[in-house]
Chains A and B, each alone.
Chain A
Amino acid sequence: MSEDTTTLSETAAETVEETAAQAHNTLEAATGAVKETAAEAVEKITQMPDIVPFSDREIILTGALITIMVISLISFFLKNRADARTHVSLSMFSVLIGGFALFMAFKSAYPGSLLLDGIALFGLLCMFKLMNQFEVTGPPPKKDADKKSEEKT
């Protein structure tokens, strides 16, 4: 009985030792892998450029956005100085530039699309029609004398 117990405890001790050794190895391997991965990640991060440059297409589209913003700001700063017709005309410039930018963006992304061609053609013709009304719709700018007389009344 005592011999059996001794043998059993020895076997158990061996098993524990083996398991501990295996666990140690696994942990070491895992630690190594983590270190390696972290080192790779650090290397990749340090290799990444600080700036992602715009493509030419993005520069053009950004230019269109900036122009629209500048025109809208002009309209804002002229809010009390210009008449409604001037504000409408400035908005029409935004439509023109936005329409052109969309035409360029879609036509270059999906060349040969029948549906897109139809929409682009119809859209451009509508835009030409709209531009025919450029700065001619709405009342003409008031003369100073008219404005003063209005202010008095």
Chain B
Amino acid sequence: MSASVTPETVSDGKSYYFVNRWVDFFMIGGISILAFFAILFTHGHLDKGTFIVAAFYLQWVINFPHFSATNYRFYSSKEHLMQYPVTAFVLPFVMLLGIYACIRFPALFAPYFASVYLLWSPYHFSAQSMGITMLYGARTGFFVGKRERLALSTFLFGSYIVMYLRAGASAFATVAKDQDATPLETLNALFFGVPYMYFDMPALLVSAVEAVTYAAGLIFIMFFFRACRRAGKMLPLFALMPMITHAFWFVLGYKFGLFIFVMFIPLFHSIQYLLVAWSVHINSKLMQESEMRPGRKVVMSETVYWIIANLLGGFLLFGVFPLLLIKLTGTSLLIAVAAVYAGVQIHHFFVDGVIWKLRNNNTLGSPLMWNINDLVTHREQQRQGK
């Protein structure tokens, strides 16, 4: 999700959750925070390989479908494609060129392509944290203005940059100096067998960025409490949930040396994303088809259809596509997987920037601001014309 949401507060009496307190809590950050503590207390006792295998299987049901969900929303409608023609028709060719160049020049091009992707990916996660904070801010009545945005973005992007630079430095130091580095440590400096570049920055500069980052985070929290004072009431603390979750991902995860937890960040990011993407899909699709509220059964069946479609889409993108490339070009599995992972995900960063701004002429308002209750409750009341 990109960071631009119209500051529009949900009308009084409407829930500021997409589904309800528990579903939103767990999907926006609860699962990340629980996983953090679970890994913190068990990582010394459990085999790291277990976590890696778990992450491998989970990405097929969480991470890959989240990429598919983006493409499904964008490419499933001609109306959507015509709103953003360059993203729809030129971008896929540019990304295919990048993937082809990785396969053609695995030692010369692929490392740079992987480096750009690996720097861009956490940037994208931070942009999503920004977007979701603003979204819940708008839903809860906490207006995120210009100054708030500056403080928030400094914290979100600063924490990712600091972790990226520090983790990169330590991983490369391990691989460069320690010939006996374990395969797990070597993984840090390799992206599916493709070595990637590390940006060497003076430690003092990184520490200075870190200090500014924490200060900005505190300032943003102060802005929140100032907004509460101005509103004359305590605004829902849930508005801070995405920021707190981000702090677990990019500050605490690294501070506690939990490489395993950091490895799961793409999954946590995808869980957040799927909640918003599902809500927007369900709302825009069902509200568009019928003036009547469709009810629980229709919502459930559309949800199941959406889940199956995206599981299949993820499998095609990350399972079939690399195998097809191997068949066509004779490249190795690792190079094909690295090229597809980087290419498809960079494509996702672009498409994600436009899908939240798509306009559906048959729907009312922004689907980002709706709640599931708009669809499943009060159907009878509506039938009776109340």
Contacts and interface: CB of A to CB of B under 8 A. Distances in A.
Given A86-B85, A103-B112, A134-B350, A71 B105 contact: no
Interface string B346-386: 00011001100101000000000000000000000000000
Nearest to A83: B85
Nearest to B4: A136
A67 B127 CA distance: 29
A22 to B, nearest CB: 62
A38 to B, nearest CB: 42
Nearest to B356: A136
Main DSSP-derived SS at the B contact region:
helix
A114 B199 CA distance: 8
Nearest to B123: A128
Interface in B76-107: 82-87, 90, 94, 97, 101, 105
Contact of B116 (A60, A103, A112, A132): A103
A104 B199 contact: no
A134 B109 contact: no
Contacts of B183: none
A39 interface: no
Determine the interface band of chain A, counting residues with CB < 8 A from chain B. 35 or more
A130 to B, nearest CB: 11
B167 to A, nearest CB: 14
B213 to A, nearest CB: 14
Contacts of B202: 114
Nearest to A89: B86
A60 B108 contact: yes
Contact of B354 (A97, A107, A136): A136
Contact of B112 (A74, A82, A97, A104): A104
Interface string B196-233: 01011110000000000000000000000000000000
A132 B3 contact: yes
A124 to B, nearest CB: 6
A60 B97 CA distance: 11
A57 to B, nearest CB: 6
Contacts of B116: 100, 103, 124
Given A93-B94, A107-B112, A108-B108, A141 B83 contact: yes
Contacts of A131: 349-350, 353
A93 B94 CA distance: 9
A86 B105 contact: no
B199 A135 contact: no
B120 interface: yes
A117 B350 CA distance: 25
Contacts of B85: 82, 86, 141
A56 B354 contact: no
Contact of A118 (B82, B87, B94, B201): B201
A73 interface: no
Interface residues of B, number: 36
A74 B350 CA distance: 20
Contacts of B105: 56, 59-60
B2 A117 contact: no
Contacts of B84: 135
Contacts of A89: 86-87, 90
Contact of B109 (A60, A120, A124, A136): A60
Given A56-B108, A107-B112, A132 B127 contact: yes
A125 interface: yes
Interface in B169-216: 197, 199-202
A59 B101 CA distance: 10
Given A60-B105, A82-B85, 12 more contacts: A56-B105, A89-B86, A89-B87, A89-B90, A90-B90, A93-B94, A107-B197, A128-B119, A128-B123, A134-B86, A136-B353, A140-B83
For the complex of A and B, the 7 pairs showing the least CB-CB separation, nearest first, are A89-B86, A104-B112, A121-B199, A117-B199, A117-B200, A128-B123, A135-B84
Interface of B: 2-4, 82-87, 90, 94, 97, 101, 105, 108-109, 112-113, 116, 119-120, 123, 127, 157, 161, 197, 199-202, 349-350, 353-354, 357, 359
5 contacts: A74-B90, A89-B87, A108-B112, A128-B123, A135-B86
